[in-house]
Amino acid sequence: MTRLEISDAAVADAIAAEAGYMEELLARLVEAPTLLGNEEPGQELMREAFRELGLEPADVPLDADALRAHPAASPFSWDVSGKANVITTWGSGGGRSLILNGHVDVVPPAAESLWRTAPFRATRDGDWLFGRGAGDMKAGLAAIVGAVRGLDRAGLRPNAPVQLQSVVEEECTGNGTLQCVLSGPAADAAIVAEPFPGAITTSQVGVLWFRVEIAGVPAHVGEAASGANAIEAAYPIIEALRALEVELNEHPPAPYDQVEHPIHLNVGTIAGGDWPSTVAAECAFTCRLALYPGQRVEELKQRIEAAVAGDAHVVYAGLACEGTHLPADSPLVQTLGHAYERLEGGPPVLLASTATTDARAFLGGGIPAVCFGPHAENIHGVDERVSIPSMIRTAQVLGLFIREWCGLS
């Protein structure tokens, strides 16, 4: 195939012509409530979108045994049989190959009564589209499809395979993308279209989920002194974990020495007791705590268990991963930054994120990876929303990047 010298404007215009399609796809995805265990309706929409590109979708099922045997997998206790990532491949040739990745799963709506509209009803207001998952990260999936659709309809093809991935379980384990890495093939680079506007995420923290289980001694409230209240026993444990959070933020390594409070502890759920007049016999709460690139998960586990101490029991389930870093002089970072600058007129920020993403699965598999995506607000919160113009610009930058990275014919 002959490599074409197609202009920035021609690439941008071809993709901008798909703005209506991208918004329509995003709205349909938002209205599919793809919570953990119910990802399939969204995956069927992605299969349909891939078929509309003239491509053949394929499923990559989650293999519980293979995941549990892999050191980078996060622990899980639920049944993953029947779950699948959906992938397809566009283009071919001997150029630099690419993976464009996004996750279809979303977190539960927080306090539905506080939302301006139903969380799973896509609502357009000016330049914004509201709905759970609109930003995190269904707009990224729509931008990926829009970039490919625009170039394809202009009669352009990449000079290397570009694999499109819609994955599951990003929000709780990252095992969906890990399964894609294990199933192959490898690629020369990967971009995860997470909502980091105007920035290329080159560093991210690791994350550890854990559950603290506390046993008390039940008793009638009239004889409370003879019991031991498990709920009240949780207070000093949480205070000890907060003290650990303070310690972890005291001397952050680069690049997190430029970030205010990079390590966050979150107490996400709590449950305990069974009767108002009975001293609580048990209590359990779940937490998320971060760790720096270069810090080991096992090391953080030891510090958590030392903080908890006593008779409480710590159980690990869900995200358990180490942080990652990709140097700024990486060809992926340089080429994507150049594509961004050509469209936006200035360089992107190189971001050290205080969150974790599926980019770590690619990096762990030897594939350079970054995050780059639309502008979203209130993700995981009330009235999550995404900027429609930023979704279109994300698709345009991805199109320019494909031109530079893979070549177009």
- Residue 1 has a pLDDT of 45
Q: Is the CB of residue 144 less than 8 Å from the CB of residue 394?
A: no
Spatial distance between the Cα atoms of 14 and 4, rounded to a whole number of angstroms: 15
Q: Is the CB of residue 249 less than 8 Å from the CB of residue 186?
A: no
| Nearest Cα residue to 136 out of 357, 360, 402 | 357
Its pTM stands at 0.96
- Cα-Cα-Cα-Cα dihedral of 152, 157, 161, 163, to 10°? -10
Which residues on adjacent β-strands are paired with residue 128? 125, 387
pLDDT in tens, the chain (409 residues): 456 688 999 999 999 999 999 999 999 999 999 999 999 999 999 999 999 999 999 999 999 999 999 999 999 999 999 999 999 999 999 999 999 999 999 999 988 999 999 999 999 999 999 999 999 999 999 999 999 999 999 999 999 999 999 999 999 999 999 999 999 999 999 999 999 999 999 999 999 999 999 999 999 999 989 999 999 999 999 999 999 999 999 999 999 999 999 999 999 999 999 999 999 999 999 999 999 999 999 999 999 999 999 889 999 999 999 999 999 999 999 999 999 999 999 999 999 999 999 999 999 999 999 999 999 999 999 999 999 999 999 999 999 999 999 999 9
| Nearest Cα residue to 319 out of 158, 218, 225, 207 | 207
Spatial distance between the Cα atoms of 309 and 295, rounded to a whole number of angstroms: 22
Q: What does the domain layout of the chain look like in residue ranges?
A: 8-204+324-405, 206-321
Spatial distance between the Cα atoms of 105 and 357, rounded to a whole number of angstroms: 13
Tokens of 283: 């209590």
- Residue 3 has a pLDDT of 62
At position 95, the amino acid (one-letter code) is G
CATH architecture of 8-204+324-405: 3-Layer(aba) Sandwich (3.40)
Strands 324-325 and 199-204: antiparallel
Say which residues have a Cβ less than 8 Å from residue 69's Cβ, sequence separation at least 6. none
Asked if 8-204+324-405 and 206-321 have one fold, the answer is no
Spatial distance between the Cα atoms of 311 and 235, rounded to a whole number of angstroms: 14
Segment holding 207, helix H or strand E: strand 206-215
Fold of 206-321: Alpha-Beta Plaits (3.30.70)
Spatial distance between the Cα atoms of 16 and 388, rounded to a whole number of angstroms: 11
Q: Taking CA 313 as the corner, what is the angle to CA 311 and CA 314, rounded to the nearest 5 degrees?
A: 145
- Residue 312 has a pLDDT of 95
